[in-house]
Amino acid sequence: MRTKFNYKLRMLSLSILFLGLSFPLIGQIDWTQKSLEEIKILVTKWEQMPVKTDTVLNNLGYCYSNGIAVTQDYEKGFHYYRQAADLGYGRSINNLGDLYENGYYVAKDMTKAVALFQQAAELGDEYGLTNLANCYQKGGGLEKDIQKAIELLSLASAKGHGPAQNNLGTIYLLGEAVPADYSKALAEFQKAANQQQPVAITNLGRMYELGLGVEKDMDKALEYLFQAFENEEMYGIYEVGNLYYNGTGVPQSFTKAMECYAASGSLGFFQAQVNLAYMYETGTGTEPNIEKALFWYEKAAQLGDKYSIDKVKELKK
C-alpha cells in the first residue's frame, strides 16, 4: 500500500507545476516592494495629481483591485484601468482582461477577456502575451493551439517575463503537443528561477532531483526545493514533504512530511491534502484518525479531485 502511495505521489508531482496568471502580477516592482505606509503616501499623491499619466492610473487600479494600502474596491480598480487603457497603456488593457476573465466587478466574459489580452499582446505587453498564450494552451475562449501558445510565450520569455518562462518550460517538460525537450525546459526554468519565480524554483529542483535535461544532482535539488519551501511556495513545500516521506536526500521523517503536507494543503494544493489524508487514514507516521482523514479528503474533494470524492463516500459509510 505504501509503495502505491509513493508512486502516485511522485508521478503527480511532475505534472502540476504550471503557473496560472492573474492580474496582481505587474511590472512596477520598485514601488510594490515598498512598505504599506510608503504606498499609502504614494496613493494619496497619485490621487491628488490633476493630470494622471497612464502608469499612475494603472498603479492606482492595481492598488484598489488588490486592496494594497487602500480598501479593496474592484469598481475603482476597473475605472482606473479603463482610463489608462483608453490612453493605450498595454498593461492596463491586460489587467482589464483579467477582470473580465475572473468576473471581478464586471460579469465574467471570456470573449472580452481574450480580446483585451490580444490587444495588450499586440502592444507588446508581456503579461498580455502570457495571458493570451494561456488561453490558447487551455482552450479558454479560443480554440486550443499549443503551437500558438509556444510562439506567444517565447516572445514574452525573450522580454524576460518569469511566468512565461516557467509556463514555456512546463510545455517542454511535459511534451504537451510537442516532443518533450528537457534541455529547453531546464533553460526556461533556470531563467525564471533567476528572477525568483517560486514555481520555477520548485520545477528546477525537480529537474535536478530526477536528472531531467541535466545530470542528477541531489545537492542542487535540495538547494532549490528548500529555497521554494522557505518562500512558502505550496508546490515546493509539497515536494519537501515528499523528500521527508521517502527519505530522499534527507533523513526519513513522517512527522516532517505531515507538517509539509499540512502547510501545502492549507495553501490549497489538493495532492498535499490527499497525501495527508492518506497518512491519517492508514496510520502512517501517526495514529489512525478517520475524522482527520475525512477533513483533508473533503478539502481535496471540494477542489474536484475524483479520488478524494470517492474516498469521502467510502469513509462515511
Give the pLDDT score at 8. 39
- Has residue 21 got a pLDDT over 60? no
- Has residue 204 got a pLDDT over 50? yes
Give the pLDDT score at 7. 30
Distance CA 124, CA 17 (A): 26
Share of the chain above pLDDT 70, in %: 91
Residue partners of 272: CB distance under 8 A and separation at least 6: 234, 237, 238, 241, 260, 261, 262, 263, 264, 265
Q: Which domains does the chain have, with CATH numbers?
A: 1-18+197-317 (1.25.40.10), 20-144 (1.25.40.10)
Q: What is the pTM (predicted TM-score) of this model?
A: 0.81
Average pLDDT over the chain, rounded to whole? Answer: 89
- Has residue 15 got a pLDDT over 80? no
Confidence class for position 317, pLDDT limits 50, 70, 90: confident
- Has residue 28 got a pLDDT over 80? no
Residue 286, all three cell numbers: 501517526
Give the pLDDT score at 182. 96
Distance CA 84, CA 266 (A): 37
Give the pLDDT score at 128. 97
Under 8 Å between Cβ of 113 and 90 = no
Number of H helices, E strands in the chain: 18, 0
Give the pLDDT score at 178. 87
- Has residue 23 got a pLDDT over 80? no
